[in-house]
Amino acid sequence: MVISVPRLVIAAPSSGSGKTTVATGLMAAFASRGLSVSPHKVGPDYIDPGYHALATGRVGRNLDAYLCGTELIAPLFAHGAHGCDLAVVEGVMGLYDGAAGEGELASTAQVAKLLRAPVVLVVDASSQSRSVAALVHGFASWDPEVRVAGVILNKVGSSRHEEMLREALDASGVPVLGCLRRAAQVDTPARHLGLVPVAERRSDAVDAVGAMAEQVRRGCDLDALYALARGAGELSGAAWDAAEVVASSPPPPLSSPKLSASLEQGGPPSTLGAAPPDPRHRPERPRPQTPDGLKDRGTGLRAAPRIAVAGGAAFTFSYAEHAELLTAAGAEVVTFDPLRDEQLPDGTCGLVIGGGFPEVYAPELSANEPLRKAVAELAFAGAPVAAECAGLLYLSRELDGQPMCGVLDVSARMSERLTLGYRDAVAVSDSALAVAGTRMRGHEFHRTVVEPGAGAAPAWGVRAPERRVEGFVQQGVHASYLHTHWASRPGVARRFVERCRTS
């Protein structure tokens, strides 16, 4: 299969240069021309894809080489961009910034190379003139495999300033494809973990995206940018398919006895030091027509287990592929809003509670006592519950003094310290998601702490930046601060659905 979707990667020398404004504005501007635009974001960030979705009318998708592996970047891209006229990929941090201590891994540059996509560099020109040429030259020449094919100048102060910048860049060989003036109306509010999500400011977010699109239309050469996108190299290979990967995913590894004790004593188990299996080298096995366990020998096709996924303004962090994998594994996926719904959806037999901002909505979540009780009853009955970060806080006894669901006997509170970074982890305890010994990569991003930080049966053993155990496994509950991407381990979704079916 040949993938020939026109595509651009929008990068910058550093964070704060205007990538989100330019990328979202380009998505909206091209969509207003009648193009079907596929939005993508490099890295683990959940918030920017919400703005991308608003701009394009399509689900925003992440491309994270650390969480998913380099081999899945092109297939996941092809899955999201299937049938589209154009794909716009917003980068992360600076062009060459990636996972700490891992070289180019998970950087925008690496993703651009894996996608054979031209890079457009967004430069904050507010405090420079001729020096912009040296900056662009450095980025364009640093890695000859990265094609920096154009520049968009952002935060330009005046016509004279623009003239000076363009004159300096004439000799660089990198064309100027846009020039955006300072415009306060496109600013989006931020707080302790970045931009305020779309779900919390829908009307204002619509206005902001409209302003971004208008600014890009006025200041950028859209025809030249589209022509550049059409010059992206062809990719070969199949698009990622949830049903296919669930059907062909191997069983999880066998349990590793005494794994938690080994971690706490500092002696790494063999699974902790080994690299995750490369999906390209997995042994072939027959692919069933339906995921395992769907058929009952006595009654034929069994009813799909209903899995409720938390949403609404307090729980906005999720990867689209998770719901797709659960559905492919045979589940019926429904959503509920812990801020508004007083009961779980009828027939719920499993919960997925992802990330978000429960600390912002603690009083409102606490006030919804009927739902808190329903969640606790389901969890104490042994139903599978997968909770990440915000989900962990919601299952706690209290959050900043406000009563939560009380599923876990832990106290959660806001903290001044930001916990941020990729994590290499191994499952310490058998759970509804994985058996002990399963290795996964994840990401932490929070300004809260829970006390204690791990239960008697921890969820994960983390190798770096410090060796520790983290999270909680209790009956069917798996709760942790770690955000994971199940596309890297589709067997996780299959196992969770099977647990929901049999619990």
How open is the CA angle 177-182-183, to the nearest 5 degrees?
110
Angle at 483 between CA 503 and CA 199, to 5 degrees: 95
- Kindly give, in sequence order, each residue whose CB lies less than 8 Å from that of residue 63, ignoring residues fewer than 6 positions away: 40, 41, 42, 43, 73, 76, 77, 89, 111
Print burial letters for 98-127: b (CB count within 10 Å at least 16), e (below 16).
bbeeeebebbbbbbbbbbebbbbbbbbbee
Q: How does DSSP classify residue 273?
A: H
| DSSP 3-state of 317 | strand
Q: Distance between CA atoms of 300 and 172, rounded to whole angstroms? A: 68
The catalytic residue positions are 389
Sequence-distant (≥ 6) Cβ neighbours of residue 81 within 8 angstroms: 3, 5, 7, 38, 40, 87
User: Hey, how many other C-beta atoms are within 10 angstroms of the C-beta on 231?
Assistant: 12
Query: Within 10 A of 261 (CB to CB), how many other CB atoms are there?
Result: 12
Nearest Cα neighbor of 3 from 74, 70, 90 is 74
The span from the first CA to the last CA of the chain, in angstroms, equals 41
CA atoms 58, 59, 60, 66: torsion sign: negative
* Identity of the residue numbered 490: P
CB 156 within 8 A of CB 162: yes
Tell me the C-alpha distance between 282 and 36, whole Å.
Answer: 35
CA-nearest of 114, 117, 124, 116 to 94 is 124
Contacts of 179 (CB under 8 A, 6+ apart): 152, 153, 156, 162, 165, 166, 219, 220
Return the structure tokens found at 209.
């995206």
Q: What is the largest CA-CA distance in the chain?
A: 79
Beta bridge partners of 341: none
